[in-house]
Chains A and B, each alone.
Chain A
Amino acid sequence: MMPRDNEETENDDALHQVITALRQMPRPAPPESLRRRVMAQVWSEGETPARHIDVLITRTEEIRGQEHVFWERRDVQEHSPPAARTAAEHRWTPVPRDAFHATQID
């Protein structure tokens, strides 16, 4: 609700008219391009949570009749594009797929 300034306008009809006109003045809608620009950037940045650990399977291979996975852990920084993400840790030793989740969650 619009606040009133009765004290100032009580005895000043001209001022009251000015303030009323200001309050009723139509305001143009922003261009649609503004929303497109803002939200495109937000969606782009929003794809990456503030900070999290990605565990990626980089390769699978069958070893002695059992499927093994090669994996690595990446520390993802806020707003960093994928190309700039640094691999904080690499595991070159393949892990049986069945044991994979138990291995990488520590």
Chain B
Amino acid sequence: MMDNETPDEALMQRVTRGDTEAFDLLFQRHQRSVYYFILRMTGGDASLTEDIAQECFLRLWRARQTYRPTSAALRTYLFTIARRLVLDVTKQQQRRAAVMTCGETGEAVATEQPGRADPQTMLMGRELERVLLAALDALPPTLREVVLLRDMEGLRYEEIAAITGCPLGTVKSRLSSARQRLKTAAQHWLREEKE
């Protein structure tokens, strides 16, 4: 009997025996996280995201007999695959872009500024969300991925280190740097600190 309470590892054991129903459950459980991670890492390209997400889950399916549940939690495994696929696609795009243009390159900077509307009447939460999203997309991928994995997916530092292949200290310093940039970009929409 399988349901939403069945642990990932139990489902994966069934998947290793070719159980497509168990795989479907795993897919439905993790698709939103994986999809959103890829979506943000590709700068919001929905079409590309769908292609990469499909490949990500199919790689899990095809690796079902070599998957070892003790080596990493399933979500760590999935994010590792997703990240590698995004990196591969990004490299291909950069090569293509280098051939097609010799325009300026450089890191995008979030330059969101307050609009004309009175901040008092703004829907602050929604505005903050919009600004943070723009700032997030403008972060370099190495910083963006740690914010996504830590602050949006709630992964542990150790898991992020495993996914990115970075030492724990690097993960923490990147996260700190990314958060400071987001804070700077969103400062106009943050509530005043109460004294």
Q: Which residues of A contact B (CB under 8 A)?
A: 1-3, 5, 8, 12-15, 17-19, 21-23, 25, 27-31, 33-35, 37-39, 41-43, 45-46, 49-50, 79
A40 and B16 alpha carbons, distance in the complex (Å): 18
B54-A42 in contact (CB<8A) = no
Show 11 A/B contacts (Cβ-Cβ < 8 Å), sorted by A.
A1-B154, A3-B154, A13-B190, A15-B180, A17-B191, A18-B183, A22-B136, A23-B152, A30-B31, A30-B53, A43-B20
Interface status of B68 (Cβ within 8 A of chain A)? no
Residue of A1, A17, A18, A19 ringed by the most chain B CB atoms within 10 A: A18
Instruction: Mark B17-47 against chain A: 1 for CB-CB distance below 8 A, else 0.
Output: 0101001100110011101100100000010
Tell me whether A38 and B54 are in contact (CB under 8 A).
yes
Asked whether A30 lies within 8 Å of B32 as measured between CB atoms, the reply is yes
If the complex has contacts A35-B28, A45-B61, are A18 and B36 also in contact, measured as CB distance less than 8 A?
Answer: no
Please measure, in the bound complex, the distance between the C-alpha atom of A14 and the C-alpha atom of B188, giving whole angstroms.
Answer: 10
Q: Which of B61, B151, B176, B182 has the most CB of A within 10 A?
A: B151
In the bound complex, what is the Cα–Cα distance between A22 and B130 (angstroms)?
11
Q: Report A53 CB to chain B, min CB distance, Å.
A: 16
Closest chain A residue to B181, Cβ basis = A18
A78 CA / B20 CA spacing, docked (Å): 15
Which residue of chain A lies nearest to B47 when distances are taken between CB atoms in the complex? A31
Whether the pair B187, A38 counts as a contact (CB closer than 8 A) is no
Q: Cβ of B176 and Cβ of A8 under 8 Å apart?
A: yes
CB distance from B162 to the nearest CB of A (A): 15
Assess A27 versus B32: contact at CB under 8 Å? Given A8-B176, A35-B27: yes
Would you give the shortest CB distance from B133 to chain A, in whole angstroms? 7
Q: Is the CB of A41 within 8 A of B35?
A: no
Measured between beta carbons, the chain B residues less than 8 angstroms from A8 are 176, 179
Q: Which residues on A sit within 8 Å (CB–CB) of B9?
A: none
Q: Quick check: B50 and A18 within 8 Å, CB to CB?
A: no
CB contact under 8 A between A21 and B24, given known A14-B190, A14-B193, A38-B57: no
By the criterion CB–CB under 8 Å, are B179 and A34 in contact?
no
Task: Give the distance in Å from the alpha carbon of A28 to the alpha carbon of B39 in the complex.
Answer: 10
Assembly CA distance A27 to B61 (angstroms): 25
Cβ B125 vs Cβ A21 within 8 A: yes
Q: Is B20 a contact of A39 with CB atoms below 8 Å?
A: yes
Closest to A48 in B: B18
Are A34 and B129 touching (Cβ within 8 A)?
Answer: no
Which residues of A sit under 8 angstroms from B150, Cβ to Cβ? 3, 5
Query: What separation, in Å, do the CA atoms of A8 and B151 have in the docked complex?
Result: 13
Distance from B168 Cβ to chain A, minimum over Cβ atoms (Å): 14
Please give me the residue from chain B that is nearest to A26 by CB atom: B129
Residues of A within 8 A of B183 (CB): 12, 14-15, 18
Provide the bound-state CA to CA distance between A3 and B156, in Å. Answer: 7
Instruction: Assess whether B50 is in contact with A31, with CB atoms less than 8 Å apart.
Output: yes
